[in-house]
Amino acid sequence: MDPNEMMALEAEIVKTLKLIFDPEIPVNIYDLGLIYAIDIDDEKKVEIKMTLTAPNCPMADDLLNEVYVKTNSIEGIKSAKINLVFDPPWDKSLMSEEALLDLGLL
C-alpha cells in the first residue's frame, strides 16, 4: 500500500476513534489514551490495540463493540480486529493535553 494512502487511512481511523466516548468520562477514547496502537497491513486489514480505564469496566463490551463496528465501517478497510490489552495499565499520563485540559487536570 502506498505510504500516503496508509497515512490517510490511519488519519480516518483516528478521526473515527475521536467520535467514540468513554461512557464514564466525557472524553473520546483516543485522547483519553485508550488506543495503544493502530496497525494497518498491505491488504488494508486493521488491528487496534486498546485498553480500558479499569479492567472491570462494566461498559467494556459496549465500548469494544462500538470501536469494532465504527472501524469496520470506514471505507477502504477490509477488516478490523480489536485487541484488548491491560499491559501497560492505563493511567492519566496517557491522556492527551487536550483531554487533561477538558477535565481540568492541567
Confirm whether pTM is higher than 0.85. Answer: yes
Helices 60-72 + 3-17 axis angle, to 10: 140
Residue 35 is given by DSSP the state E
Domain borders along the chain are 3-91
- Domain 3-91 fold is GMP Synthetase; Chain A, domain 3 (3.30.300)
> How much is the pLDDT for 76?
92
CB 20 within 8 A of CB 70: yes
> How much is the pLDDT for 25?
86
> How much is the pLDDT for 105?
87
pLDDT tens per residue across all 106 residues of the chain = 788 999 999 999 999 999 999 888 889 999 999 999 999 999 999 999 999 998 888 889 999 999 999 999 999 999 999 999 999 999 999 999 999 998 888 7
CA distance 99 to 103: 6
> How much is the pLDDT for 23?
83
